[in-house]
Amino acid sequence: MDLCIDRLTVDFGSVLALENVSMDLHNGEVTVLAGPNGAGKSTLLSVLLGLIAPDRGQVRVNGRVAASAGRPSALWLREQLGYLPEAVAFSDNLSGRQVLRFFALARGVSSSRVEDMLERIGLSRAANRRVSTYSRGMRQRLGLGVAILHTPELLVLDEPTGGLDQQGLHLLWEVLEEWKSAGRLVAMSTHELALIERRATRVHVLVDGVLRASGTPAELRDKSGLPLEMRVGPGLDEVYEELIGAEEWAV
Amino acid sequence: MGRVAVAVVLHELQERARDRWVVVVTGLFALLAVGIAAYGSAAEDTAAVVMAPSLVTLAAFLVPLVALVLGHDAIVGERERHTLGLLMSLPVRRSEILVAKYVGRLIALVFAVVLGLGSAAVFLEAGQRGVVLSLLPPTLLLGAAFLSIGVLISTSTQRVATAASMAIAVWFLVVFAYDLGLLAALVATDGALSQDTITWAVVLNPAGLYRTALIARLVGDTALGDLGMAVQLPGIAARTAIWASWIALPLAVGALQLGRRKAVTA
């Protein structure tokens, strides 16, 4: 899947959440959106998800328009994506197994896959417990299970590392590698660049709805002009700090 | 109805079965209906005669409440729990999600009404049982109309507490205060309103249409004359149009609101 975001603008009246943002996302890439709170990362992901209709610009998938001004993303795109929200939540009345079964039915996935997924996300023993009794890390793992249940071509992860326990982080790294090696696409937002640095193929830095910089982690290091350290280069977290503080950046 | 919508309907049913407010109000309706039926079957003459109209009056008060409780958090509840984004990212139109939520909750409402009136019917003789069971279709129409209003409230509000307050206010205004308002209008105009005007004003309210149509059927048209209404209620076509409007219009407006919302989770 090749995804082209073309001059996307989202205007909430008092706030210009995205302004003429363009970027390309390619097969087998883990694309990371970085930026401070209110930078527009989640807004961009929400446009892909069909939760927000853009005011201007387009989203194209393999050349086909999936979202455009006033029109949220098409059902055929949403068929192919899986989503892990930042503050993932489910009905507290349901058990983990019931949650996965609901999404399996909605996504046309067999119920046997639900059991495999429970095993994979380490919730088999807690499968019949109400979600309200789950820790934040367990909910996040359940959310990741929901997102990958139907093996989507595009995986959208909004701040996926927040609240994840060690087991969840390990699962997340595994999923990112799996998606990359299978030639699928991952689009994710994060504050924790240092954590995600080694897994990111490309990083796009957004500040106040404007795309400040784009490139591979190595390219961003070069652009930043920060001095090299013994560990080969500055940590991407430092690069990020530099980027969001810079007045102008070449995209 | 597509795959996602079917999943949403089943999901709604699972959730409603564990919703304590729905369980409490449904239980209360069943309990009071059984009480009226038990009283009617135990007594001779007049008590038996007024049993069915009493059930109508009970249903006219409680079924709208059950329906509004069921409907008021359909969308705003998901928004407040932060589950709406995940739901709306599924490959389905926003309006279809709304309709699926309505259908899921309507099935729960059917269960509540059948449980209430069915429990009452168990205590009655065969003849009376038939009368009580004949109340089911209009009672379901009444519930369906208020459920639609509840779902509209859920798309129009930003917080569950606001939606709940609005649902209670609608219930109070439409079920209680509306008739008092009509009486006040009659007094204020010194009886200048015609019987036809009063009749139309009553039957345009779903609770009023339910009550008057069933009381006319159970007790006879003279009961309406005593209430100052025209002896003849609007015909079946007009009544069908009123029910259809109350069920379809709020749902359509809710779907339009949800569809036009720029940021569905905001």
Q: Which of A12, A92, A105 sits opposite B7 (nearest CB)?
A: A105
Residues 6+ positions from A23 with CB-CB distance below 8 Å? A5, A31, A204, A211, A214
Answer with the residue of higher pLDDT: B233 or B212.
Answer: B212
Contact (CB<8Å) A85/B82: yes
Can you give the three-state secondary structure of chain A, one letter per residue?
CCEEEEEEEEECCCCEEEEEEEEEECCCCEEEEECCCCCCHHHHHHHHHCCECCCEEEEEECCEEEEECCECCCHHHHHCEEEECCCCCCCCCCEHHHHHHHHHHHHCCCHHHHHHHHHHCCCCCCCCCEHHHCCHHHHHHHHHHHHHCCCCCEEEEECCCCCCCHHHHHHHHHHHHHHHHCCCEEEEEECCHHHHHHHCCEEEEEECCEEEEEECHHHHHHHHCCCCCCCCCCCHHHHHHHHHHCCCCCC
Q: Which of the residues A15, A91, A129 would you substitute to probe the B interface, choosing the one with the greatest number of B C-beta atoms within 10 Å?
A: A91
How confident is the prediction for chain B on average, in pLDDT?
Answer: 87
Q: Which of B82, B90, B263 sits opposite A106 (nearest CB)?
A: B90
Nearest CA in chain A to B20: A93
Nearest CA in chain B to A74: B91
B215 neighbors B207 (Cβ within 8 angstroms): no
Contact (CB<8Å) A105/B10: yes
d(CA A197, CA B95): 40
pLDDT for the residue A92: 82
Q: How far is B171 from chain A (nearest CA, A)?
A: 27
A 96-155: CB under 8 A from B: 98, 102-103, 105-108, 143, 146
Q: Which two tokens stand for residue A106?
A: 């909605």
Residues 6+ positions from A168 with CB-CB distance below 8 Å? A137, A140, A141, A144
pLDDT for the residue A25: 93
Answer with the residue of higher pLDDT: B169 or A91.
Answer: B169
Nearest CA in chain A to B80: A89
Contact (CB<8Å) B81/A79: no
**Is B259 in the A-facing interface, judged by CB distances under 8 Å?**
no
Chain-centroid distance, C-alpha B20 = 19
Q: How far is B15 from chain A (nearest CA, A)?
A: 7
- Amino acid identity for residue B44 in this structure: E
Q: What percent of chain B has pLDDT over 90?
A: 47
Instruction: Report angle CA B87, B250, B97 to the nearest 5 degrees.
Output: 15
Segment A229-249, tens digit of pLDDT = 655 566 665 666 566 555 554
Burial of A162 (0-12, 13-18, 19+ CB in 10 A): middle
Concatenate the DSSP letters of all residues of B63-107 into one string. Answer: HHHHHHHHHTTTTHHHHHTT-HHHHHTSSS-HHHHHHHHHHHHHH
Q: Which of A53, A78, A106 sits opposite B3 (nearest CB)?
A: A106
Contact (CB<8Å) B14/A94: yes
Contact (CB<8Å) B86/A146: yes
**Is B2 in the A-facing interface, judged by CB distances under 8 Å?**
no
pLDDT for the residue A46: 94
Task: Name residues of chain A where pLDDT drops below 50.
Answer: 249
Contact (CB<8Å) A105/B3: yes
Q: How far is A174 from chain B (nearest CA, A)?
A: 22
Give which of A55, A190, A12 is closest to B266, Cα–Cα. A12
Asked if residue B217 has pLDDT above 90, the reply is no
Chain-centroid distance, C-alpha B82 = 28
Q: What's the pTM value of the predicted model, to 2 decimals?
A: 0.87
**Is B192 in the A-facing interface, judged by CB distances under 8 Å?**
no
pLDDT for the residue B50: 72
Nearest CA in chain A to B92: A75
Contact (CB<8Å) B90/A90: no
Contact (CB<8Å) A94/B8: no
pLDDT bracket for residue B49 (50, 70, 90): low
pLDDT for the residue B97: 95
d(CA A193, CA B41): 74
Nearest CA in chain B to A107: B4
pLDDT bracket for residue B180 (50, 70, 90): confident
User: Of A146-155, A161-170, B20-29, B210-219, which has the strongest mean pLDDT?
Assistant: A146-155
